[in-house]
Structure 1
Amino acid sequence: MSQTSTPVTGENADEVLPRPTSFADVKGWFWPVDQLLFDWFLGHQRDTDPDGRGDLLELGAYLGKSAIFTASYLRDGEEYTVCDLWDSPAPDDPNSAEMNRSYATLTRRAFEANYLSFHDELPRMVQAPTSVITSKVRPGTCRFVHVDASHLYEHVHGDIAAAKELLQPEGIVSFDDFRAEHCPGVSAAVWGAVATSGLKPVVITGTKLYGTWGDPAPLTAALLDFLADRTDLWHGVEEVAGRPLIRIKGNKTTPPPHPKSRHEPLPPPEPAPPAVTPPPLPVRPRPSRTRRLAKDLLPPVVTRALTSRRP
């Protein structure tokens, strides 16, 4: 169930946090090619199972960029849960050091300010380590899980196990930073899950891996069909662990339409149409002085004759 929120302010009650006026104003690392794939996977689920239901889950939210985007695909009867530490203390020293180094300015209020600039209600928010998520979300209820929390191996390993437990049989999971050089723990945990837990990768980008514990073949075929018509994306197919794995590059990718901010400035009014000036009325030539005298002095019959010959 979604929840409403009171007005978002800083520590000083008079200090209102800035509200983004466009999706680009929201800070975060959510590149156009991944926006395109989120749109494709979530849209594919809608199109292939229009009557189905499945909840959405994000582990690690930062300032809400991907959460704002994902929430646009929430259907009636579905629940969206976001889990993050935000201002809470980290559960262990290594995690605390990572938070202080990378997310020192992160606050829940900033997330709420951003999210409520695009959506009427907040998602279900779990402010806690991601290790608690299996006690907050029912097993087998999620159709899409985005994992973007801690980069430490032990924590990512736990997030993978949680995603597997919470996903529906054909649900999709997305892992961020699976190949970044500063996050070797993520890479080790994700590829370890491919080798040991039955995780089947479907597609990778420069930052994310998308996979399923279900049957990847229908997804792979449908995605390749979609990519065949894209001229702004390069893609190739590799064989990994005995299955095809799609690779995508799209530095100049055109992303899908972004959610619209409720604080977006109104477009300038259209200029008023130019005033229409009516054409001047025709001016009849004034009769000459001679003709005026003739009209006044001569008999009417002569005057009519002169008038009929006037040019």
Structure 2
Amino acid sequence: MSLTEYLEFIGDPAGDDVEGWLYPTDAQMLAVVNEVQVRRGCRGDILEIGAYKGKSAILLGFFPAAGETLVVCDVFDSESGLTADNHTENEAFYPGLQRADFEKNYLRFHDRLPTVHARPSAELDILADRSCRLVHIDGAHSYEATRADLETARRVLGPGGVVVVDDWSSAHIPGVAAAFWEQYLGGALIPLAFTKGKFYATWDPAGLTGQEVADGVAGRPELETKPPIRLGPHEARGVTMTPSAWQRYSAALRAAYAKLYAGGGSAPAPQMAGF
């Protein structure tokens, strides 16, 4: 399967059978960032912190060029080094998660596994400074864990590097927003774009710009940008599905959200899709 085919797979909730949470909008946005980095000649590994069953890792696995690697960090079914907050979150949202589930899903779409660190992200000091060009943060959602993951991202990102922060606007896990905006208010983090699910930013003042990302979005018929919003000294554009793309997926989306809101401990993990 190609990157284009996987994006189509993600965009059809009725056919997407990889459990997890990745909006079609963000799947397209991650591809846009990768394309802009490739055009700029940015080099480095791709790091994902928090993989669950592989929905976004599979996408990221299409990005590395020769000499680059996808690195995935998740505790999976390991109990080593987990904090009390880790245990609570895992029991609530990821009960029964096994590393084998991730590996089985990933190998459906790729010939070999990425580099996997089955450990808490606090132990990613093994990664070299400035060794990555893209870091996707979707690990533990406490303030302390997100703050540490952001510092890891800042350390390992090289020239042109981009950090993508999941759940930046989710009301039920405010620690992510607290850590993200704390980093922004420190003055070095530059916003590039945001969606309902993820915020895209860089610490490199000579790196990607919001306009470059917006230009990349303009080349995708599934996406559109909203007018820029002033955030202190910077501007950032919201990105959503186009109305025509929304209509294409509306029936499946209704089914997906019905599954989500049905509730019940035995309900399968919802296939999240939408703006």
Global fold match (TM > 0.5) = yes
Question: Aligned ranges for residues 213-228 of structure 1 at < 5 Å?
Answer: 213-215=203-205, 218-228=208-218
Counterparts of 1:104 and 1:199 in 2: how far apart (Å)?
34
Higher Rg of the two aligned structures: 1
Counterparts of 2:132 and 2:244 in 1: how far apart (Å)?
28
Which of these residues, 20, 24, 28, is aligned with residue 28 of structure 1?
20
**1:131–1:159 contact (8 Å) kept in structure 2:** yes
Q: Go from structure 1 to structure 2 and tell me whether the alpha carbon gap of 1:231 and 1:124 turns closer, same or farther (over 3 Å shift).
A: closer
Counterparts of 1:234 and 1:68 in 2: how far apart (Å)?
26
> What stretches of structure 1 move > 6 A for 4+ residues in a row?
none
Match of 1:241 in 2: 232
- Given the alignment of the two structures, is residue 130 of structure 1 paired with residue 121 of structure 2, yes or no? yes
Q: Go from structure 1 to structure 2 and tell me whether the alpha carbon gap of 1:218 and 1:167 turns closer, same or farther (over 3 Å shift).
A: closer
Which of these residues, 39, 50, 69, is aligned with residue 31 of structure 2?
39
Aligned-pair identity in percent equals 33
Structure having greater relative contact order (Cα 8 Å, sep ≥ 6): 2
The letter of the residue matching 1:162 is T
The letter of the residue matching 2:138 is D
Counterparts of 1:111 and 1:47 in 2: how far apart (Å)?
31
1:96 Cα shift?
0.6
1:200 Cα shift?
1.2
Counterparts of 1:115 and 1:182 in 2: how far apart (Å)?
29
Counterparts of 1:238 and 1:223 in 2: how far apart (Å)?
15
**1:202–1:219 contact (8 Å) kept in structure 2:** yes
Match of 1:145 in 2: 135
Q: Go from structure 1 to structure 2 and tell me whether the alpha carbon gap of 1:201 and 1:101 turns closer, same or farther (over 3 Å shift).
A: same
Structure 1 stretches lacking a partner, 5+ long: 1-21, 256-311
TM-score by length of 2: 0.79
- Given the alignment of the two structures, is residue 56 of structure 1 paired with residue 46 of structure 2, yes or no? yes
Match of 2:260 in 1: none
1:225 Cα shift?
2.7
Counterparts of 2:136 and 2:208 in 1: how far apart (Å)?
21
Structure 2 stretches lacking a partner, 5+ long: 1-8, 11-15, 247-275
Counterparts of 1:35 and 1:194 in 2: how far apart (Å)?
24
Structure (1 or 2) with the greater helix fraction = 2
Counterparts of 1:88 and 1:253 in 2: how far apart (Å)?
43
Over aligned residue pairs, what C-alpha RMSD do you find?
2.0
SS of corresponding position for 1:116:
helix
Q: Go from structure 1 to structure 2 and tell me whether the alpha carbon gap of 1:196 and 1:159 turns closer, same or farther (over 3 Å shift).
A: same
**1:55–1:142 contact (8 Å) kept in structure 2:** yes
Counterparts of 2:218 and 2:103 in 1: how far apart (Å)?
39
1:204 Cα shift?
0.7
Counterparts of 1:127 and 1:185 in 2: how far apart (Å)?
23
Which of these residues, 186, 190, 201, is aligned with residue 176 of structure 2?
186
1:228 Cα shift?
4.4
Counterparts of 2:227 and 2:77 in 1: how far apart (Å)?
42
1:226 Cα shift?
3.5
Number of residue pairs aligned between Structure 1 and Structure 2: 231
Which of these residues, 95, 100, 104, is aligned with residue 104 of structure 1?
95
1:192 Cα shift?
0.5
The letter of the residue matching 1:63 is K
Question: Aligned ranges for residues 147-166 of structure 1 at < 5 Å?
Answer: 147-166=137-156
**2:36–2:216 contact (8 Å) kept in structure 1:** no
Counterparts of 2:106 and 2:207 in 1: how far apart (Å)?
35
The letter of the residue matching 2:117 is V
Counterparts of 1:235 and 1:216 in 2: how far apart (Å)?
24
Q: Go from structure 1 to structure 2 and tell me whether the alpha carbon gap of 1:71 and 1:143 turns closer, same or farther (over 3 Å shift).
A: same
The letter of the residue matching 1:246 is R
Match of 1:4 in 2: none
**1:227–1:235 contact (8 Å) kept in structure 2:** no
Q: Go from structure 1 to structure 2 and tell me whether the alpha carbon gap of 1:36 and 1:196 turns closer, same or farther (over 3 Å shift).
A: same
